[in-house]
A and B are shown apart, each in its own frame.
Chain A
């Protein structure tokens, strides 16, 4: 994806926390999103954060936004094998277009 950067791979042990990082470039982006994609499937919206927020928590998910550094992270607490998937960060460019990163493949092992 153009201008949205993510590390490609993350491996964690079951029960540990996972932290997936993302950097974006457009400081005027209003919303930032995290999507999950399982093999052969479409994208599932996990959570999103408005650009005037620093943090958002939703059950096991915590999103942190550092607008000054244009850095977004997704923390998954108590990671389970069912969390194994590709995670995409996306910024809303303009008012309707989502710009995605290339995705981070999360592998959860026993």
Chain B
């Protein structure tokens, strides 16, 4: 167990809706990274938050946004959901922005 928790475990949404996923980082870690893992593929980097600021972003549209709170927990928000957003969303925490990333169990999002 990494100490990284995510909620909810599973979620079903309808196309066009909005969703918020949550992640609690491991104690002492100030960095959270978010990844999207489509079925049968490797995870793809969405963005990273370091000390409450966005610290790098992958090739995802602006309807993917995030927040990091003073306790270093984080949220991923996705607006105007599309069918292709169906995936496992993983968050990873690290001691700092350049350190090893430890993953949570993920949130499985299904968009119908």
Residues in A lying within 8 Å of B, measured CB to CB = 1-2, 4, 31, 33, 35, 41-45, 48, 88, 90, 94-103
Contact = CB atoms under 8 A, between A and B. Distances in A.
5 contacts: A33-B100, A42-B105, A43-B92, A96-B31, A98-B33
What 10 A-B pairs have minimum CB-CB distances, sorted nearest first? Answer: A100-B42, A1-B42, A43-B103, A42-B103, A42-B105, A97-B45, A96-B97, A95-B98, A42-B106, A102-B42
Given A42-B90, A43-B90, A95-B97, A100 B44 contact: yes
Interface of B: 2, 4, 6, 31, 33, 35, 40-45, 48, 50, 55-56, 58, 90, 92, 97-98, 100-106
B56 A97 contact: yes
Contacts, number: 64
A85 to B, nearest CB: 14
Contacts of B102: 45
Given A45-B101, A96-B55, A100-B42, 10 more contacts: A1-B41, A4-B42, A45-B100, A97-B58, A98-B45, A98-B101, A99-B45, A100-B44, A102-B41, A103-B41
B42 A103 contact: yes
B42 A97 contact: no
